[in-house]
C-alpha cells in the first residue's frame, strides 16, 4: 500500500499514515497497481496542485481532507510530480478542485504516494533520460553562454527570442542552442492551422499561456546562422522547427525549404527535424525535397471525431495527416508520432484500436509518449464518453505486441 502525500501551508511534505493513496484514470479514482508506481526519479519535481485538496482511501471509504490531519488547523493541498523527459505518467493525482470552474495550470501532474520512507510516482520509464535531466539545465553558466552567442550573432532575432525562452521559461531546447549540444529548437512562425485545446503558447478557454509565442517571421539568414553553427559543433546535434512558442512551421515552408537547402550545402552533419501537426501536406512536401531528415507529428487521437475536438484543425483533416506521413516515409524521412498521453483516455480500447489501425496502414518509425499538460476535468468535459481505460501498462503492452516494428520512446533521437 502507498500512503497519501499532502502539503500544508508551510509547504511541508507529509504522509497520512492512515490513508492509502489513490490515483486518477479518466474520471475514476483507483488504487495503483504495483507496476504503475516507481521510485521518484532524479530530475522529477514535487509540486502542490493549486486549489486542490487530496483524496485517499481509509478503510475502504473515500477520505477527503482540506485541512492538515495533524490538527494544526492549516490547509492541506494535493501533491503531484512533474516528470522529466523519458517517463510516462500512468495516473493523474486524485484530488478535488475547491475552485469550481477554475482550470489548473497547463502542467503534467502525476500522482504520488509514500512507502518505506520513499516517495513513489505513478509513471513508467519509456526512454533514456540523461539528456533531459534538469541538472544539465539552468546552470550558473547559462547567462554566460547566452551572452557569448548573442555577441557572435548580434542581429539574430531568433537568438534573442531563445534567450528569453531560456531564462524566463526554462525551455530546454532553447537552452541547448546556447549550451551547443543535443536537440536545439529554432522557432520560425506564429501562424497556425489548428487551435489545439492544450496549446501552451496561445491561451484560450480560461487557460493562461505559460509562454509567449514568437511575434515575427525570421529571415532565412537568421535560421541558417543558428542551424549551421549548431549542426557543425553540437554533440549529437538536432535542430528542430516547431517549438512550443510557435505555430505550425510547415506554414512557413518556402523560408524553411530555402534554409534547409542552404544548411545542407554548408554541412552534412546532424539531424534536421520538424515538429508538426502534419496538416499542411503541400508545405511539408517542400521540406522533404529540401532535405528534411525527421518529422514528429503530434496527435491526440486517431478517432476522427476526437481528433477534431482536440486539435480543432482549420482546412485539413486526419486524412491529410496520414498523407503527409505516407509521403515522408516514401521520401526517406524518419517519422515519429508525438502521442499526447492522458491516463483513462489514451488507454481506452477504442483509442488503441484506431491507433493500431492507423499505424498498420501508414507505418511510422516511433511512437513518442508525451504527457499532455492539461487539467483532466477540463479535458474530460470535452470527451465525456464513459468508456474506461485498460491502464497505461496494458496500453504499452498492447502497442508493443501489435506494432512490434515501431519503437517506443519519449523524444526525438538523432538519425544522422
Read out DSSP for 74-90? -BEEEEEEEPPTTEEE-
pLDDT on residue 206: 58
Asked if residue 108 and residue 152 are part of one domain, the reply reads no
Non-local (6+) Cβ contacts of 370 within 8 A are 298, 338, 339, 340, 341, 410
Asked if residue 250 is part of any domain, the answer here is yes
Asked if residue 320 is part of any domain, the answer here is yes
Asked if residue 85 and residue 151 are part of one domain, the reply reads no
Asked if residue 168 and residue 52 are part of one domain, the reply reads no
Non-local (6+) Cβ contacts of 103 within 8 A are 205, 206, 207, 375, 377, 378
Domain boundary among 78, 94, 125: 125
Top pLDDT among 64 and 205 is at 64
Using one digit for the tens of pLDDT, what is the confidence trace for 39-74? 999 999 999 999 999 999 998 899 888 777 766 667
Asked if residue 30 and residue 153 are part of one domain, the reply reads no
The set of cell numbers assigned to 3 is 500512503
Asked if residue 414 is part of any domain, the answer here is no
pLDDT on residue 384: 77
Q: Which domain holds residue 40?
A: 3-125
Confidence label for 24 from pLDDT (cuts 50, 70 and 90):
very high
Domain boundary among 86, 105, 125: 125
Burial 232-267 (b: 16+ CB within 10 A, else e): eebeebbbbbbbbbbbbbbbbbebbbbbbbbbbeee
pLDDT on residue 113: 97
CA of 164: how far to CAs of 170, 178, 333, in Å?
Answer: 9, 12, 32
Asked if residue 324 and residue 250 are part of one domain, the reply reads yes
Using one digit for the tens of pLDDT, what is the confidence trace for 369-386? 999 999 999 998 898 778
Number of structural domains found in the chain:
2
Domain boundary among 93, 125, 157: 125
* pTM listed for this prediction: 0.94
Which of 277, 170, 293, 279 has its CA nearest to residue 227? 293
Asked if residue 60 and residue 207 are part of one domain, the reply reads no
Top pLDDT among 190 and 100 is at 190
Amino acid at each position: 500500500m502507498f500512503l497519501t502525500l499532502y502539503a500544508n501551508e508551510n509547504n511541508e511534505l507529509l504522509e497520512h499514515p492512515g490513508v492509502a493513496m489513490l490515483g486518477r484514470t479518466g474520471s475514476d479514482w483507483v488504487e495503483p497497481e504495483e507496476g504503475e508506481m516507481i521510485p521518484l526519479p532524479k530530475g522529477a519535481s514535487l509540486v502542490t496542485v493549486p486549489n486542490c485538496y487530496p483524496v485517499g482511501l481509509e478503510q475502504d471509504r473515500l477520505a477527503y481532507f482540506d485541512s492538515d490531519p495533524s490538527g494544526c488547523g492549516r490547509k492541506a493541498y494535493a501533491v503531484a510530480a512533474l516528470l522529466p523527459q523519458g517517463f510516462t505518467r500512468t495516473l493523474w493525482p486524485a484530488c478535488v478542485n475547491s475552485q469550481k470552474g477554475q482550470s489548473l495550470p497547463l502542467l503534467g501532474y502525476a500522482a504520488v504516494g509514500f512507502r518505506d520512507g520513499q516517495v513513489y510516482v505513478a509513471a513508467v520509464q519509456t526512454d533514456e533520460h540523461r539528456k533531459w535531466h534538469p541538472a544539465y539545465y539552468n546552470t550558473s553558466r547559462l547567462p554566460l553562454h547566452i551572452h557569448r552567442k548573442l555577441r557572435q550573432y548580434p542581429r539574430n532575432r531568433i537568438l534573442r527570442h531563445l534567450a528569453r525562452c531560456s531564462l524566463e521559461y526554462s525551455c530546454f531546447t532553447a537552452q541547448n542552442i546556447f549550451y551547443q549540444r543535443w536537440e536545439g529548437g529554432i522557432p520560425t512562425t506564429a501562424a497556425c492551422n489548428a487551435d489545439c485545446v492544450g496549446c501552451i503558447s496561445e491561451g484560450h478557454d480560461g487557460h493562461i499561456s505559460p509562454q509567449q509565442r514568437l511575434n515575427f517571421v525570421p529571415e532565412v539568414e537568421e535560421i541558417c546562422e543558428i542551424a549551421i553553427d549548431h549542426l557543425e559543433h553540437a554533440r549529437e546535434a538536432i535542430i528542430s522547427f516547431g517549438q512550443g512558442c510557435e505555430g505550425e512551421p510547415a506554414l512557413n515552408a518556402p523560408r524553411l525549404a530555402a534554409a534547409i537547402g542552404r544548411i545542407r550545402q554548408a554541412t552534412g552533419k546532424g539531424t534536421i527535424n520538424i515538429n508538426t501537426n502534419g496538416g499542411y501536406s503541400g508545405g511539408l512536401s517542400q521540406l522533404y525535397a529540401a532535405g528534411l531528415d525527421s518529422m514528429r507529428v503530434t496527435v491526440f487521437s486517431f478517432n476522427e471525431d476526437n481528433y477534431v475536438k482536440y486539435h480543432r484543425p482549420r482546412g485539413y483533416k486526419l486524412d491529410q495527416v496520414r498523407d503527409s506521413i505516407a509521403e515522408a516515409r516514401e521520401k526517406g524521412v524518419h517519422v515519429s508520432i508525438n502521442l499526447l498521453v492522458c491516463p483513462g483516455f489514451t488507454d481506452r480500447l477504442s483509442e488503441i484500436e484506431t491507433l493500431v489501425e492507423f499505424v498498420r496502414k501508414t507505418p511510422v518509425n516511433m511512437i513518442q509518449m508525451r504527457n499532455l499538460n492539461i487539467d483532466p476535468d477540463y479535458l474530460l468535459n470535452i470527451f465525456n464518453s464513459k468508456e474506461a481505460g485498460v491502464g497505461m501498462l496494458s496500453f504499452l503492452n498492447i502497442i508493443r505486441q501489435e506494432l512490434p516494428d515501431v519503437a517506443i520512446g519519449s523524444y526525438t533521437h538523432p538519425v544522422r
